[in-house]
Structure 1
Amino acid sequence: MSQAAETPLDNRQQWRKGRMAGLIRDIMATLSRDNGAARPAAELEALSRLDDRLTSFAGDRIDSRAPMLIRPADCVVWDGNPRDQPGLNPDSCRSLIESIAAEGGNRIPVLVRLNPQASEQPYQLLVGSRRRFAIDWLNHNGRPELRLNALVVELSDEEAFRLADIENRERADICELDRARSYQQAVDRFYGGVQSRMAEALGLSNSQLSRLLALAQLPEEVIQAFATKEELKVRYSELLTPLLRRHEQRADLIAEARIIAQEQQARAAGNGSMLASATVLSRLRQAAARRPRESSDMEIMAGGDRIGRARVTKGGVVLDLTIASDADLDLLFAHVREAILAARALA
């Protein structure tokens, strides 16, 4: 049987995919330059895989129009983007500002879509917050003629979130807490509160996603105890979350967090050195360990159901589990891991 001839639609889809592939390669090259030092081979390989994922994801969603020039004020940053917009400043974007000033604009287009809201701003910015900031800064600092090179894409909210996440996941200037908070909002907004659906869509394991969401759920008092939000890491939430689940320990830990936050404010006002994250973490854990515990046994819960118990003995941690035949093992193991960490804290 002879192979069917390519249709004009097939040719168009290939053209669009090839065009997006070139764009994404340029975006990734820009990301590599923006991060400064030369990347090791492992990171270059990771960027290559990211290039493939972006190209595959966005290949047939690009608008047929060529890149256009718009004012930064013509687009509003989409509220689903995980980047902390107030965190952008001339110092953090200095190399990009200088590059755009020298080239007379942003060579790599930002990605926008038509703004569905009734607004003076016709576009929503999906990818390219730093480039938009740089052009806007230059407009107000001697280069009013510069415009933002933008490319229109057709994406749903969920697709826009995935695309922004794919790019931002490789950025060193997006802290783990900002990323975790964006995931916390997205799981309800785009995935009906079902973590496994979100994990599958983002190419994460349920365990990875659960760890990030635990970071986003830390009390504000605990977050304020650290010198900056950039110091908060996923591994810290793994140690603190089990302690926060016990009522008495939670009260003691939060009380200590408030004391530490006041110390941090006093040090900042007096130009003193801030307490290191390791010191903060140690003090919070010690505060939770002061109160005697009546029992070292604890229940292991998953999705609101009791699946077993963890018990501390002289030889270690003993687990008693009941695993249903249709259980999500990744999610179950994530809860078991948390239970083991909590049991160790009681030892």
Structure 2
Amino acid sequence: MARKQSDYLAALLADDESVPEVSTEEVPTQSAPSPAPDLRAQRARGTTLLGRESALARVASGEVRQVTQLLLDPAKVRVWSGNARSYEHLTEASCQELLDSIVAEGGQKVPAVVRRIEGDPNYDYEVIAGTRRHWSISWLRAHSYPEMMFVAQVAQLDDEAAFRLADLENRARKDVSDLERARNYAAALKSHYGNHQSRMAERLKLSKGWLSKMLKVASLPDAVVAAFASPAEVQLKPAYPLAQAMDDRLAAASILKAAKGLASEQATRVRTGAPALPAAEVLTRLLAAPHAETPPAGPIYNWLSPHGRSGLSVVSTNRQGATVRVHAGSGAHIDELVEAFRQALISLEEQGKGVRP
């Protein structure tokens, strides 16, 4: 972990004043001859007492902070819903390196961060940071290592602090997809930051522009995401233009139609054992969908005056609004044109192309 992230993590956990404190003392080795047994025992007791007093003094002075670590049954620990990582998508293959490390070292060496929960008879704690470790220990206990215990550090954190801590751990994880993180940010924006992007960016130490793009990608509907072989393939940089294109109602309709066809094609490939369509091809086809369809002939709406001539027509609509043309020489009065404009707006609403304020 980078120094900056390490300091940020330490600051987060240091906010918890209720976490107990632990200290360790190193007793220097002695090169002098060993004293007699009775004298050695007395000196050992004295050294132990002095060491404990010294440790307690350091704790009391604030020089040493302590973290309590527990050995827990993972079955009594749930995963916090505010974490970006999708627990359901963790597999033996994706956690293989961690599984091998835990087995080789005889147990979990890096503790997870949990907080105590009340009122749930099935669980005593929930994981704030360490979802993969929790999954791995659970898997090992079910596969020939029943003695494995989940090592956790207990902290008292509110939801916003818990979110920042979980986000910090997940930022450098390659197995947390951009879409997972983006949707996690979108949920947190509403839950913890009152929909204020600037406040959220400041608290998370993120670029406002980068956060804005992540939130935009989070708005991609599930029907569009289903066109990809996996949600993990929806990456920030290439998916951002796609999310922007969805702002145009006409383009969005075409993209959704293309996405449905792509999702069906991906499913067929899975059934037949063929390789999935790569993300780059899916993106290209989705972005090209609005331009592939033949635009409708003539105006979207056309009103004829009592003289049988075009008086008012809607030429086009997009996310900026509608283009309305009032035709010269129709012979219509102003009141008739005003009523025609009202009827045009009603027609657009019925077609799903309404211009809302």
The answer, yes or no, to whether TM exceeds 0.5 is: yes
**Does 2:136 align with 1:134?**
yes
Q: Deviations over 1:151-172 (max 9, x none)?
A: 1111100000000001100111
CA distance 1:73–1:297, shift in 2 (3 Å): closer
TM superposition shift of 1:295 = 6.5
Shift in Å at residue 206 of structure 1?
2.2
1:94 match: 96
Higher relative contact order (CA 8 A, sep 6+): 1
Deviation at 1:299, TM superposition (A): 4.1
Aligned-CA RMSD value: 2.0
Aligned-partner Cα distance in 1 for 2:150–2:319: 56
Q: Which moved more, 1:158-167 or 1:201-210?
A: 201-210
Q: Structure 1 unaligned runs (5+)?
A: 1-27, 29-46, 301-347
Distance in 1 (CA, whole Å) between partners of 2:126 and 2:318 is 51
Q: Any conservation in 2 of the 1:114–1:124 contact (CA below 8 Å)? A: yes
| Structure 1 counterpart of 2:101, one-letter code | S
Of 81, 85, 106, which aligns to 1:79?
Answer: 81
TM-aligned CA deviation for residue 100 of structure 1: 1.3
Poorly superposed stretches of 4+, deviation over 3 Å: 290-300
1:50 is the counterpart of 2:5: yes
Deviations 1:111-151 (A, max 9, x none): 11111343321111111111111111111111111211111
| 1:225 paired to 2:180 | no
Task: Tell me which of 185, 201, 204 is aligned to 1:202.
Answer: 204
* C-alpha distance in structure 1 between counterparts of 2:16 and 2:117, whole Å: 16
Q: Which residue of the other structure, out of 275, 284, 287, is the alignment partner of 1:273?
A: 275
Alpha carbons 2:73, 2:150 under 8 Å: kept: yes
Q: 1:109 aligns with which of 100, 111, 126?
A: 111
TM-score, normalized by length of structure 1?
0.69
- One of 186, 189, 192 as aligned partner of 1:190: 192
CA contact (8 A) 1:243 1:288 kept: no
Instruction: State whether residues 71 and 151 of structure 2, in contact with CA within 8 Å, keep that contact through their aligned partners in structure 1.
Output: yes
CA distance in 1, matches of 2:278, 2:125: 42
Please state how far the C-alpha of 1:292 moved relative to its aligned partner: 4.5
> How far off its partner does 1:175 sit?
0.5
Offset at 1:298?
6.6
CA positional deviation for 1:276? 1.6
Separation (CA, whole Å) in 2 of partners of 1:114 and 1:238: 38
Q: CA deviation at 1:233?
A: 1.3
Give the counterpart letter for 2:218 in structure 1: A
**Matched residues, number:** 255
Identity of aligned residues (%): 37
Match of 2:49 in 1: none
CA-CA distance at 1:278 after TM superposition? 1.5
1:111–1:151 CA contact under 8 A, matched in 2 = yes
Q: How does 1:1-347 map to 2 (within 5 A)?
A: 28=1, 47-61=2-16, 63-64=19-20, 66-290=68-292, 291-292=294-295, 299=320
* Contact map agreement 1:226 1:275 (CA 8 A) in 2: yes
| Partner-residue secondary structure (3-state), 2:226 | helix
Q: Which runs of 5+ in 2 are unaligned?
A: 21-66, 297-314, 322-357
| Distance in 2 of aligned mates of 1:155 and 1:214 | 29
What residue number does 2:335 align with? none
